Structure 1
Amino acid sequence: MTYEPNLLRTPGGATSPAAGPAALRRANLSLVLRELRDHDSLSRADIADATGLHRATVSNLMAELLERRLVREVGVEHVGAIGRPRRAVALHGAHVGALGLEINVDYIAVHGTDLSGRVLVERRVAFDAMGSGTDRAVRRLGLVAKEAAEAMERARAVPAGVAVAVPGLVDVTRGVVTLAPNLYWHDLPLADELTSMLRPLDVPVRVDNDANLSALAEFTSGVAAGTPDLVYLTGEVGVGGGIISGGRLLCGADGYSGEVGHLRVDPNGDQCGCGRVGCWETKVGLAALVRAAMPEQAYGLPGMPVPDPDERVADIARGLSSGDRRMTQAVAQVGQWLGLGGSILANLFNPRVIVIGGYFASLAQWLLPHAQDQLNRLVVAGSGAQCRFVASTLGFGAASRGAASMVVDQIINDPTSILDSLPRPAVH
């Protein structure tokens, strides 16, 4: 499953590059690589049939891709009892890396792959980004990114791009975090700052919203992969949404769609990190659940260390399994609010599924009965909408995985961006 980021991520629509030999070469190389990404292996004849390219053109493109080690021959296919055997090829690019990162309130996540999707580095670091201040948080993110890039290089894959997922509004074109209320970031030129910190590694750095990248990860490789109409909900301290409509990520006029956590659901509710009152994330975010389920460990208490979110969720899961009354009531209340907000999204976008990630997925067996009941009751179309909640299997790593996937897709959509900068392998 692939997507075209330039079409998906450009608010208002992307313009086509000027036609010419270079543009045609770029488009044809991309077409071949996308076809190979969707299959384990294909022969040159298979690629020609699938793409409509002339077989001689495919052979020329394949020669270049083989020389650049972006594809590899994997064996011989025999078709029928007689006839020439076909040499099968597969996506390779083991020397080309894609680094995805996520910074959130209480952790930094890393997911690094090569061009074919082989995982080279994956980790999550507990970190109090909310309480650390902008400068320290960005420095720590840069250090984690540099360590991950070095680990990828030791695995002989040089990162060809870096993408960072952030819980907030992002000006994707400039790589500026316009507003991340739970991190207290305003107008932060994150792409430029990380580019400086990663030197001497000289690679493009992109920044995007965490829910958007998680939605793309779900659409390409998650529990609802290929579902053309879905909503993804992050289950973090903050709550964001990524919306896939008709197989495309819904961006909005300025690229700021999906801030579902700031739907106002309770005019008399608590103040949100965005400064408003009664936002949905004040009812269903992890901070709200922890405050209700185990107030002695609430976020923001003086002297309270910030553990990895999995640790908090594991504590709550153990309490639920043992029948802890306070935790059971807290989760039931969150589940009802989750269903109420989900019904608003179902009424607006008519998705087939609402994929819940982060802590929502970890506690799905307790949350979803309450949430689905509310959803069924409040969706205007009733049973005709056929919308259901499903739990993500990607865990807290969905956004960093989506970030790495976005880098891979951008490389595949414009392979000349790395073809012309990669050293050719030595000929012995």
Structure 2
Amino acid sequence: MENFFRLKELGTNVRTEILAGLTTFLTMAYIVVVNPAILSAAGVPFEQVFIATIVSAVVGTLIMAFWANYPIAIAPGMGMNAYFVSVVATQGVTYQVVFGAVLLAGILFLLLTFTHLREILIESIPAALKYGITAGIGIFIAFLGLKMSGLVVENADTLVAFGELTDPNTLLSVTGLLITLILITRNVKGALFIGMFITALIGYFMGMLQIEGIASVPPSPVFFDLDIAGVFSHSLYTVVFAYLLVTIFDTTGTMIGVAEQANLMKDGKLPKAKAALTADAVATTVGATLGSTPSSAYVESSSGVAVGGKSGLTTLVVAILFLITLFFSPIVAAISSLSAITAPALIIVGSFMMTGLANVNWKEFDEAFPTFAVVIMMPLTSSIATGIAVGFITYPLLKLFSGKGKEVHPILYVFGVIFVLQMIYFPGH
């Protein structure tokens, strides 16, 4: 095992790698609860999402462990699950159609992984827009958490308003949020997971959490009919593009960040990048066929690296722990059914995604406004795709009229025109 994972060469050992794997798992385990809780709102059966979440995490993480030998864990990404629900709600399509879009995005991502187009795409899109997309998704997620908690409610006059703190669900949400914030402030490892656990305990003693069992035989995976034809008949091309774009940026950015932290970068490049990106693409494709949204490299992997994780043994431990959770579907189902437990995690994860905005040059209007437009349009239109489209239209336009048109990659002008046509002829898609 030491030789296979090159532990001595990397300056680590089995004990450190196991501890790192446990730490990473605890910081990202919330996805096993949160993903089914979100997707079930779109009508996807809980057990289907539960199985798909774990299987896609295990498949992607094992590829990362054995092929890339990186301490970077894979699982269904946050934001894309919330977007899935909004597409089902606003487009009037079935979840089978949207999973068809996810599968197409996964296949395209897999194909791009073996070409130079991925690098061209990443290099052509300016950093400001990338930061804006990540932050916009963060607000999108946080807004969902605020609605689930009851802190933000619908209002006929102002669209949204502050909720009732006396409502038991809202009160439990606020309590859970404060507990989790304190844990994070105190740098407690696995703070999100522990916060959810404590909130669940409080909910249980308040009589709000009904637990009918702890462990059981894992549910059987269900392969359902993906409606790929529906993607074309409903013109969901922007949805496919949004999934593809966000997955590429999210994964690449996270992998580079975690690899830098673990001192695995060589001359500014990521060795075995294709193997690492393949892990994500395969996990996304597998997840779509079972019932989950695109997978991504998890930034929570940095918590495992912080305690010394440097090899694929860290991610092997994460994969094994995800497999073990297959036997705890009853307790996960109970926790998922009480939104007050999962809402604080969404709000906090949303805040984590704001950090990139510090890198935007807000004094340069042609950089600042497109970023602002992306960030504000995503939550207000309940569409990640619309936010991306507005950014891709305004960025090249402002650069062109500020005399900096040559700084913009030609591919951005092409995307800008495509998005203008799409918003005129296929609004809402």
- What is the TM-score when the length of structure 2 is the normalising length? 0.23
Q: Which has the higher contact order (CA 8 A, sep 6+)?
A: 2
Structure label with greater radius of gyration:
1
The structure richer in strand per residue is 1
